[in-house]
Structure 1
Amino acid sequence: IVHGAKRVPQDAVSDQCPEPDGFFADAEQCDKYYQCSDGHITEKLCPDGMVFNDYSTEYEKCDLPFNIDCSARSKLQSPQPSEHCPRKHGYFAHETHNVCDKFYFCVDGKYNMITCPDGLVYNENAGICSWPDEAKRNGCSSEEVFQFQCPKVDEAVAATHPRYADPEDCQYFYVCINGDTPRRNGCKLGQVFDDQSKKCDWARNVPECADWYKGRLTDVQLAELENPPTPRPRATKVSKRKHQRPRAGDDILV
């Protein structure tokens, strides 16, 4: 999708097309590009918030900024902001710097707020949800998001990415990457983290968390999670069609 196209006088730019036909990026502005047709050049702009994808001169494509390297042509058109949308199109972090797990998806200046899965934050450089240590956002470090610090360990233990129980939630635990960067993980429903074995186990097997699901799951539900019922085999339907003798003139296969 493009807009803002304008025809540049032919006598002024006829020698500026690198090739007679194709789409070419502007040397300085990442959301500006040119269409050349039989040597005639037309200047174009991507929609606000998008930039020109210069991977191929055969295709006219505007893309999201985190998919394109704009370091050599960093200029952009003036923004057209609206509520929660710094530009008309794109993905944008929440305005409050320490609200790390929410971001906005904007299309034509209209926003939709998205929440990352538990334990992840919005990564402005990639346009996706990722671990806090990968996103590297101010106010959204692993320690700030999880309120947990990995215990100091020697290099041998650190290399194993040690695990520690979440002190507030039996179902969750922290994996300390290289011994110092926490990432929050969870056990499946019905299980808790055993801080002795460093593995997930059924709640009844971990004394300090045996009652963790009390009031949320019944004993019957917990038993079914641990030993799911075997599905009954489907009954085979017997055909009720009557066998008929071949009639005279019918072909008989042998």
Structure 2
Amino acid sequence: MEVVKFILFFLVMVVVTVGATDSEVRNPLRKRKPQQEQRQRQPVQQEKDAVSESITCPEEFGFFADAEQCDKYYTCENSVPTAKLCPDGLVFLEAGSSIEKCEFPFAVDCSGRSVLQPPQPGLNCPRKNGYFAHEDVKICDKFFFCVDGAYNAITCPAGLVFSNATGTCTWPDQAKKAHCSSGELFEFDCPKVGVPVEGETVNPHPRYADPKDCQSFYVCIDGKVPRKGGCSLGQVFNEKSGQCDKPKNVPECKDWYKGILDYDEEGDILTTTTKPRRPASSNSAGKRKGPKRPVVINEE
């Protein structure tokens, strides 16, 4: 009888074991699922380990620029580095290990660290943040200021152009942009000056009248590069004296403000009758003739 019970017990255990084995075959992910989840998390863990193993903090605490990428830096806490990125369009400013600050590229020297994160462009914004020239290379005096992908259109004062190098408006000869030279913008070239005779005093920055505008003139820097200037309202440029003067003293410009300003017999302004504005298609009056950084460990 005992033998029969043992045999029955043995047969039941065989059936249970076979059933479990069969169930495992039919559902292979049941026991392997935790292993699969571990494999899915593994690349992230490897990335963290790669940063900690390949980068050594120069100090126990602080903020340090990446050696190759200008908009990347590291936060070191207890000598453990964490990689960070500046907002798109900004780069990390090395201003001391205690300062965490991102700045515009024109304010930071990125020599040897020219790599940047992929851009996130938007309307009129090649990157989400920064100062950017107009997309039309021949429009030199307009640019866009972008903040988090939203832009503001800005126009430079008359005679100035936007400079990519400084993010500000400056003289065309200083900006040094294609299609934005002084000659192209003003359609004016400084006259060539002959060699001065002995004892003659020569103005190194001579002034010349704007042939199209009585109120404007050009200053030729070193006699070569024109920069546009202008007289105050009610005055015109007197080429003979090289100064701004009353219209009555410059015959070709005596009617420049006609219909806009009134003068007394001495040439002084009496009243302003309307907003001063000289249309481009005006009559012939006024036309002239003529630091510390994290160290990368070599893993070889």
**TM-score, normalized by length of structure 2?**
0.69
Structure 1, residues 17-69: CA drift from partner, whole Å, max 9, x if none?
11001100000000000011121211000000000001211100000000001
Which residue number corresponds to residue 212 of structure 1? 256
CA distance in 2, matches of 1:92, 1:129: 12
Task: Give the equivalent residue in structure 1 for 2:204.
Answer: 160
Q: In the comparison of the two structures, how many residue pairs are matched?
A: 220
Secondary structure of residue in 1 paired with 2:154: strand
1:222 is displaced (CA, Å) by: 5.0
Q: Which structure is higher in RCO with an 8 Å CA cutoff and minimum separation 6?
A: 2
SS of the residue corresponding to residue 232 of structure 2 reads coil
Distance 1:105 1:158, change over 3 A: farther
In structure 2, the partner of 1:27 is 67
Q: Classify the secondary structure of the residue corresponding to 2:84.
A: strand
Q: Structure 1 pair 101/160, CA: closer, same or farther in 2 (3 Å)?
A: same
| Bigger Rg over Cα | 2
Task: Tell me, in whole angstroms, the C-alpha distance in 2 between the residues paired with 1:149 and 1:172.
Answer: 15
Give the root-mean-square deviation of aligned CA atoms: 2.2
Q: How far did 1:219 drift?
A: 3.0
Contact 1:203/1:211 (<8 A) preserved:
yes
Q: Go from structure 1 to structure 2 and tell me whether the alpha carbon gap of 1:44 and 1:158 turns closer, same or farther (over 3 Å shift).
A: farther
Task: State how far apart, in whole Å, the 2-side matches of 1:173 and 1:129 are.
Answer: 20
Q: Does 1:46 align with 2:86?
A: yes
Higher helix share: 2
For structure 1, the residue ranges without an aligned partner over 5 or more in a row are 1-5, 226-254
1:159-213, CA deviations, whole angstroms, 9 ceiling, x for partnerless residues? 5211100001000000011111100000111111001111111222222211111
> Alignment partner for residue 269 of structure 2, among 223, 230, 243?
223
Rounded to whole Å, the distance in 2 between the matches of 1:60 and 1:115 is 32
Q: How does 1:1-80 map to 2 (within 5 A)?
A: 8-9=48-49, 12-13=52-53, 16-80=56-120
8 Å CA contact 1:8–1:43 kept in 2: the answer is: no
Kept in 1: contact 2:165–2:175 (CA 8 A):
yes
- Report the Cα offset of residue 8 of structure 1: 3.3
Return the letter of the residue paired with 1:48.
D
Counting aligned pairs with the same residue, the percent is: 57
Moved over 4 A (4+): 155-159
> Unpaired runs of 5+ in structure 2?
1-44, 272-300
